[in-house]
Structure 1
Amino acid sequence: MAKTGSKEKIRKFLLANIGRVIESHEIFAASGGAGQYGRRLRELRDQEGWPILSHHDNSNLKPGQYLLQEKPPPNVVFSPIISARLRAMVLDRNGFTCQMCGLTPGDVDPFTGRKARLHIGHIVDRSHGGKNELSNLRALCSTCNQGAKNITTEKPSLIWLLTQVRRAGIDDQKAVYNWLHNKINSRD
């Protein structure tokens, strides 16, 4: 008789508890005491597309709490995780800035009240054939990566404006500075 692995045990436990906040000690117990249960959760989330939320994704969750929001997609297996090198290339190209809302790491996300964390998101989702290639990847904060903001065109926020200036070259930054300086001084 084949032994059931910890990932399969966690998979069954989560499916039996969809929509319920689960504590890490429950997952540990369900895994059969596997020390790598956190890694197995990440594999389910990142490689199989399971919508497992943690306190990084939902401000109602505390550290050590997880929530499988809904039934995961059937038989979805994504290509290997994005390499550290490719991740660094995407973050550098995108100026360490969320490409949807403009938050940078450490900025307070107005939707969650938590400091923003950047993830690497796919432009064409993996479930629709998108690949782990530089041209198909972008930096996204955790809220935008989960699709919770559903950003539409609106008046630029201070954070968005600052982000654009941060991403610009030094000559453009100087031009913005001079324009603001002249505009403010013309009001005096």
Structure 2
Amino acid sequence: MDSAELREVSGDISEWARRVRELRSEEGYQILTHNDRSELKPGQYLLLDPTPQPAFERTISKEIRAYVLDRNGYTCQMCGAVAGEKHPYSPGRKTRLHIGHIIDKSQGGTDDASNLRAQCSICNEGAANLTLDRPSVEKLLIQIRRAKNDDQIEVMKWLLTKFRQLAKDLMDDR
């Protein structure tokens, strides 16, 4: 269903978009948007199930959200996509980050910062929402060593940008 159909069904109420958000967050309806599913365009909605699910209280404060995003370097902790940049698995879209639970609330997880991570909208979708182990230093080095020189240089540039002060200090110690 798209926004024009919703507007028509609602009797052309000007606040229909807010009502959709209320149905999602307060009433427990699983209504997906383009932020949740990559195949949906802005203004399109998908009702997964006409039966409302138990609604969870939204208790992640803006301070915790900001802390988690900063702690995670504004980077998806599953695929490495950076907020605002083209998504590596969907180049036509910019990366939009959400705050995801490591252990889902339905499985007893909490809204504590230690149970939260930055996730892009693509990784936050359904079956892709799996917890992956972080790669070890050894595995990362193996992958970098196997990469082409141009790719290794890109990794080095990224690390130098991310750890600018540390890189400067290390060079000064030489």
TM over 0.5: yes
Q: Contact 2:100 / 2:118 at 8 angstroms: preserved in 1?
A: yes
Give 3-state SS (helix, strand or coil) of 1:144's partner.
coil
CA spacing shift, 1:71–1:141, aligned 2, 3 Å: same
1:35 paired residue number: 14
1:143 paired residue number: 122
Deviations 1:120-178 (A, max 9, x none): 111111222222221111111111111464676795796xx579836557326876xx7
Q: Contact 1:46 / 1:81 at 8 angstroms: preserved in 2?
A: no
2:166 paired residue number: 171
Q: Quick check: 1:64 aligned with 2:49?
A: no
Whole-angstrom distance in 1 between the partners of 2:53 and 2:40:
28
Following superposition, the deviation at residue 84 of structure 1 comes to 1.5
Identity value in percent = 47
Counterpart amino acid of residue 170 in structure 1: Q
The normalised TM-score by structure 2 is 0.67
The count of aligned residue pairs is 153
1:19 paired residue number: none
Structure 2 unaligned spans of 5+: none
Out of 72, 90, 94, which is 1:112 matched to?
Answer: 90
Following superposition, the deviation at residue 65 of structure 1 comes to 1.4
Following superposition, the deviation at residue 49 of structure 1 comes to 5.7
Structure 1 unaligned spans of 5+: 1-21, 179-188
Counterpart amino acid of residue 36 in structure 1: E
Q: Contact 1:76 / 1:127 at 8 angstroms: preserved in 2?
A: no
